[in-house]
Amino acid sequence: RRAVNAVVEAAAAMSRQKTGALIVFERETKLGDIIDTGTIVDAVPSVPIICNIFFNKAPLHDGAMIIRDGMVHAAGCILPLTKSNRVSIELGTRHRAAIGMSENSDAVVVVVSEETGQISVVVNGVITRNYTRETLRGALENYLFVPEPEQTDRRQGKFPSIRRGK
């Protein structure tokens, strides 16, 4: 959850400053080939680290940041661009890369527009725009964290570890 909190706060700050960002949360699909195109960072996620990586004079700012296992694993990574011709003409390369990444993996991608400061989330090739700090946090928690099993299973007498005899 530390990574989500840091990304949410950093995205909000970069949105205000109109600093472009591309942040990829790795899920089940391992992104080793993408990571190999960038620089290994292996840092605990924090707002200063994320904002410094995307500062427009920083050497790694042009590529994507990969969050793996809750850590800032790599930065400056090159993502595949979408080949879809249905993507809005107003979306630039950063957004096309986010869509391409999500079409080729189960990753959750956060984009901050350099032009508008708008925050977007891309999952399964679908981009959703105009996130606020609060809605971004909710979306990331929804996509990245498996909900705890409900306590009602116990009350309903369901014991998955017990098999009934024939």
Distance CA 120, CA 126 (A): 10
What range does the domain containing 51 cover? Answer: 2-155
Write the CATH number for 117.
3.40.1700.10
**Domain count along the chain:** 1
Torsion, Cα of 61, 145, 138, 10 (10° steps): -20
Quick one: DSSP state of residue 139?
H
Burial of 37 (0-12, 13-18, 19+ CB in 10 A): middle
Q: Is residue 164 part of a domain?
A: no
User: What radius of gyration, in Å, describes the C-alpha atoms of the chain?
Assistant: 18
Output the pLDDT for position 93: 92
Distance CA 6, CA 138 (A): 14
Report pTM.
Answer: 0.85
Output the pLDDT for position 149: 57
pLDDT tens, position by position, for the chain (166 residues)? 899 999 999 999 999 999 999 999 999 999 999 999 999 999 999 999 999 999 987 767 789 999 999 999 999 999 999 988 888 888 889 999 999 999 999 999 999 999 999 999 999 999 999 999 999 999 999 999 976 555 444 444 444 444 444 4
Structure tokens at 9: 């706060």
Q: Is residue 114 part of a domain?
A: yes
Q: What are phi and psi of 83, to 5 degrees?
A: -100, 0
Output the pLDDT for position 150: 56
